[in-house]
């Protein structure tokens, strides 16, 4: 397989997601030989884990942004509310 797996940690979430979609498309097509299917599946799992880690990190950052000094979520207000 031409694509290496060591570069996965360096790619963006969007690129990893596109690569994962490509892997799924190839596997679902059923035209890939067995050995290549196994390699694709392994790469797909690594891409999935990378995407999940990026999503988890993004969620943690968002929770940190919206948390108050006491660690509890801040109160929200509508955008059109007068300040």
Q: What is the SS3 string spanning 14-68?
A: HHHHHHHHHHHHHHHHCCCCHHHHHHHHHHHHHHHHHHHHHHHHHHHHHHHHHEC
Query: Which pLDDT score, from 0 to 100, does residue 62 have?
Result: 85
Q: For residue 80, is it within any domain?
A: no
Q: For residue 82, is it within any domain?
A: no
Domain count of the chain?
1
Q: For residue 17, is it within any domain?
A: yes
Q: For residue 59, is it within any domain?
A: yes
User: Which CATH number belongs to the domain containing residue 24 in this structure?
Assistant: 1.10.287
Query: Which pLDDT score, from 0 to 100, does residue 17 have?
Result: 97
Ranges in the chain, pLDDT < 70: 1-6, 71, 75-83
Query: Which pLDDT score, from 0 to 100, does residue 33 have?
Result: 97
Query: Which pLDDT score, from 0 to 100, does residue 35 have?
Result: 97
Q: For residue 3, is it within any domain?
A: no
Q: For residue 73, is it within any domain?
A: no
Domain range for 48: 11-66
Query: Does the predicted TM-score (pTM) go above 0.85?
Result: no
């Amino acid at each position: 397989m031409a694509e290496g797996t060591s570069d996965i940690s360096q790619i963006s979430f969007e690129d990893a997601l596109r690569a994962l979609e490509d892997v799924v498309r190839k596997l679902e097509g059923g035209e890939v030989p067995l050995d290549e299917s196994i390699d694709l599946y392994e790469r797909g799992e690594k891409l999935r884990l990378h995407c999940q880690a990026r999503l988890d990190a993004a969620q943690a950052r968002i929770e940190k942004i919206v948390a108050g000094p006491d660690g509890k979520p801040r109160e929200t207000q509508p955008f059109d509310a007068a300040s």
